[in-house]
Amino acid sequence: MPISVITLRRWSPARLLLALAVSVAVWAIVAVGCFCVGSTGEVGWPANHDVASFRVDVVLLSSLIGACLGAAGAVYQAVLRNPLADPSLLGVSSGAMLCAYVWRFPFAAIGAASVIGAMGQQAFAFAGAMGAVAVVLLLSTRWGRLNPVTLILVGVIVNAINGSIFLLLNARFPEVTAGAGGALGFLVGGIQTNLATQQKWAGAIVAAGGWIVLMYLAGQLNTASAGDAEAQALGVRIHRLRWIALIVASIITAAAVSLSGPIGFIGLVCPHIARLIVGADQRRLLPCATALGAALLCAADAVTRLLAGQRFANTQLPVGVLTALLGGPFFLMLLWRQRRSFEG
């Protein structure tokens, strides 16, 4: 269906509530199944209250992070008109990872302790993510307009620079990452179970506020993938929309990465699966991608717990390792399909 037709069709509150209810129901079914998986691979409903409370925290936290990445990925792909776009594209994940690593140096932790207390690492990660996005947006702007192609290229370069700085510092000071799962924990990300309650609530509030803004813009986002000329013909201020959508999606990504580190491919895979299920209308796609992101990361974390109980694993892998193993082939498949469409 042409995007202009999708955009002009009115959506009643009942249809919006139905889309939200179905999305939440899909996530809830997966979340209950993941709740029954223990940290050492045992399966079953927990009999101990403390164990049940711990599993609830893990399921909700992984769902929150996955929801953020899924929603941000859908917005990036629409605004940048690139099916291979994901939340790590603009340097958000690498910027957050680098600053979270810098926070572990004694001079940084001591300086921040008196100001932000237990939220120090999350605050550093959030600041690093937004700083990276600011650099990318600044270098990609010309006469007040963002060029999607330039934006992607600059984002790739910023990602490479952040990764190189991290590897350089880690080679010189390997002891800094000794208590955080090593360099692998920073590079691929994972569900952190030692977060304070205020840290979780801060991420959840930021994510919820940003998601509401994106849902408000969902109708206009339908025009973003059609091209600037058609969007302007429909009365949409496409350049302002691109600025707002990218900034809000980056804020949501920063909230997720500050809680988990740079978990990859969730934001790439979930919007494509949602598009196969509900179509290209962002008013349905955004809730579906959000729910699929929450369900997929929650399920991936449950699989890592199952593998931890197997003899060949002997330890719980960071969930980012599993998402990379699943998302890498998916990315190559998308690239292959793009190549075939260009050749055709």
pLDDT greater at residue 332 or residue 250? 250
Strand (E) positions, 53-207? 141-142, 145-146
1 pLDDT band, cuts 50/70/90, is very low
**CATH code of the domain covering residue 311:** 1.10.3470.10
Overall number of domains in the chain = 1
In this predicted structure, what is the pLDDT of residue 5? 45
Share of the chain above pLDDT 70, in %: 84
- State the residue for tokens 């690492």: 121
- Looking at residue 180, what DSSP letter applies? G
pTM (two decimals): 0.86
Beta strands 141-142; 145-146: pairing state: antiparallel
Quote the domain boundaries for residue 123: 3-343
- For the chain, report the end-to-end CA distance as a whole number of angstroms: 21
Mean pLDDT over 15-19 rounds to 81
